Amino acid sequence: MKQFRVEEDFWKLFPEAQLHLVVVKGINNHKPQDERYLIDLLKDGKEAAKGYLTEEVFSQNSVIKEWREAFSTFKTKKGARSSIEALLKRVDQGRDFQPINSLVDIYNSISLTYALPCGGEDLQSIEGDLYLGVAAGGESFLPLGAESDAPALPGEIIYGDEKGAVCRCWNWREAQRTMLKEETTDAVLVIESINPEQHQRADKAVKELKRLVDVYFETESHIEKIAKPSTSVSL
């Protein structure tokens, strides 16, 4: 059984961080999509997200400020931002969200609704165990939509496995190798929070994420939580 571990060098940078995981196995992501349902989920998420954009200047909204400050504490690729900033930027610009695939659409709707970074990995594509920690530098990484390797930088926060990085700059960019696809049957979905106010939202978000996944895929997922001093859970 695969393990997911959080390394000590991550806790040194973010001792208050928490990770909420939903682990789901044996699903059929080929299931005919109820596109209207998924569009409505994303639409509702977009409407909820507007409540976090109360400042006229986008960068002054608390969610944006908190994650930009977090990203300033470790080495990042120039221009890298948190995944929740990317989603909220689309909301701020009045852009709509279109379905990608069922798992991604569901976690994006949760990310928008609770203003928290959410992501997911295909467990069958993970080589060995999955970890979150500080990169040594040079970990192989083929970004989503790219054709050439873009290795991690020394000191960068990454999710990784035995083969390389699977998500760079903490939650900025996903790897093609482990991304959620229609062929995905086993997945881990991750919600990240970095302060007490975000933790309260994450506690609610992970329960709603589990509910949506279980209802949509007619399955029974399970929740795991990692907070210091915990270091690992089974996937």
Residue 144 has pLDDT above 90, yes or no: no
Q: What are the extents of the domains in the chain?
A: 3-234
Asked whether 219 and 24 are in contact (CB, 8 A), the reply is: yes
127-156 mean pLDDT:
95
- In whole numbers, what is the pLDDT of the chain averaged over residues? 96
Q: pLDDT over 70 for what percent of the chain?
A: 99
Residue 54 has pLDDT above 80, yes or no: yes
Residue 14 has pLDDT above 80, yes or no: yes
Beta carbons within 8 Å of 104's beta carbon, 6+ residues apart: 120, 180
**In this predicted model, what pLDDT tens digit does every residue of 159-207 receive, in sequence order?**
999 999 999 999 999 999 999 999 999 999 999 999 999 999 999 999 9
Residue 170 burial (CB < 10 Å; 0-12/13-18/19+)? buried
Query: So what's the pLDDT on residue 71?
Result: 98
Question: Does residue 173 or residue 35 have the better pLDDT?
Answer: 173
The CATH number of the structural domain formed by 3-234 is 3.50.40.10
Strand pairing partners for 120?
189
Q: What is the pTM of this model?
A: 0.96
Query: So what's the pLDDT on residue 32?
Result: 64
**In this predicted model, what pLDDT tens digit does every residue of 57-79 receive, in sequence order?**
999 999 999 999 999 999 999 99
Strands (E), the chain: 3-6, 18-24, 118-122, 130-134, 157-161, 164-168, 173-174, 187-193, 222-227, 232-234
